[in-house]
Amino acid sequence: MSVTLSDSTAANRARVQRSTRASLVGLVVSIIVVAALAYGPYAFLSKGNQQNLTTLFIYIILGTMWNLLAGYAGMVSIGQQAFIGIGAYGIVYAADILGLGLWIGLVLALVISGIVAYLVSFLAFRLSGGYFAIGTWVIAEVIYLITTQFDTLGAGAGISLTTFRGYKPEIRIAVVYWIALAAVVVAVAVTYLLLRSRLGAGFTAVRDDATAAATLGVNVTRSRRIAWVVAAMGCGLAGTLLAMTTLNVQPGSVFKIQWTAFMIFIVIIGGIGTIEGPIIGAIVFYALERYVGDVGFWYLVILGIIAIAMVLFLPKGLWGLISRGGRLQLFPTGLRLATPLATPLATTTSSPTSGTPPTTSAEDL
């Protein structure tokens, strides 16, 4: 007597993927939008609209950098205005005082922001939690006070950016607009690629549980320091754009804590821990600033009410609502389980009368 067990039972082999149909569509739409914006000054964007969009791009960069720092790496900083000021003063010093020109001055300002952030991290990382947040603010104030002591940088009166001297206003505005557009694309792309990497996975692991991440082999301090330096350079990039937009750098303006408050508001409104969130949050914040900012004191009240309402009723932000709790991702950074593939089990034949041992065959192991 023999019994044959056929492939009546199936085993599932999991298959994972990163990109989705929505992300591919989002990529195509993003390329089209960026191309249209790049062509805008030649066709449909006036000088005023170019300046407005430059401001919006600065907000997107700031929101993206703070989200990288707090939303992904778990470091809540309220002192990022320090690097905005460093970037603004850095491009003026390199481009005008050292005479290196706009492009070299821009790169050098970013390098200076990164170096200062790296050195400061050895002090700031001795703190944690709320102490870290307050410590970053104190560090920003110290950098502000040190900056005002140098007569070369205008001391407390500030300094002007003269590298655009001789440019026609429409040319200057267009050049700054294109630089800002390229900057926001680079900021979002670098953040996206960084979070898709193994290093990005380390960021989120450290954010969720630093001790558990360390036991799994993640270098916690190294991961935090990289996120800190990248975010600082991004804020420095925003600072250079501010200097190029206003053509004047005032220490009381570029080192204001309001910049970090803006970053936090943008991320809370859009959705923390997502790449899409800061983009949406920046658009909403810019619209509020443009159409409600003239009401004075009540403008801050309105921002506060909106922030509290978002925390209470939409903790995942507007993008969390739009994406239906994360089901829709235009910039997917993690892996997701795709449709499982069914694989038939082995077929076993046993013949107890003949003493033949069971035989097993499998088509796909």
For 171-194, the pLDDT digits (tens) are: 999 999 999 999 999 999 999 999
pLDDT band at 361 (very low <50, low <70, confident <90, very high): very low
pLDDT at 216: 86
pLDDT at 329: 80
Whether residue 339 is predicted with pLDDT greater than 70 in this model: the reply is: no
Tens of pLDDT along 122-133? 999 999 888 999
Say how far apart CA 206 and CA 208 lie, in whole Å.
5
pLDDT at 11: 43
Q: Does CATH number 3.40.190 belong to domain 38-334?
A: no
pLDDT at 4: 47
Whether residue 213 is predicted with pLDDT greater than 80 in this model: the reply is: yes
Per the model's pLDDT, the better-predicted residue between 97 and 296 turns out to be 97
Say how far apart CA 264 and CA 77 lie, in whole Å.
9
pLDDT at 14: 56
pLDDT at 198: 87
pLDDT at 18: 66
- Token pair in block for residue 293: 């900012």
Q: What is the pTM of this model?
A: 0.87
Tens of pLDDT along 230-284? 999 999 999 999 999 999 999 999 999 999 999 999 999 999 989 999 999 999 9
Residues 6+ apart with CB under 8 A from 175: 164, 167
Helices (H), the chain: 21-43, 47-66, 81-92, 102-124, 129-147, 169-196, 198-208, 210-215, 220-246, 251-254, 258-270, 276-292, 297-313, 317-322
Tens of pLDDT along 19-63? 777 788 888 999 999 999 999 999 889 999 999 999 999 999 999
- What's phi and psi for 12, nearest 5 deg? -100, 130
pLDDT band at 327 (very low <50, low <70, confident <90, very high): confident
Rounded mean pLDDT of 284-298? 87
When the pLDDT of each residue in the chain is averaged and rounded to a whole number, the result is 86
pLDDT at 86: 96
Whether residue 332 is predicted with pLDDT greater than 90 in this model: the reply is: no
pLDDT band at 338 (very low <50, low <70, confident <90, very high): low
Q: Residue 164 carries which side chain, given as an amino acid letter?
A: F
* Domain layout of the chain by residue ranges: 38-334
161, 87 contact by CB (below 8 A): no
pLDDT band at 346 (very low <50, low <70, confident <90, very high): very low
Closest alpha carbon to 93 in 51, 22, 152, 19: 152
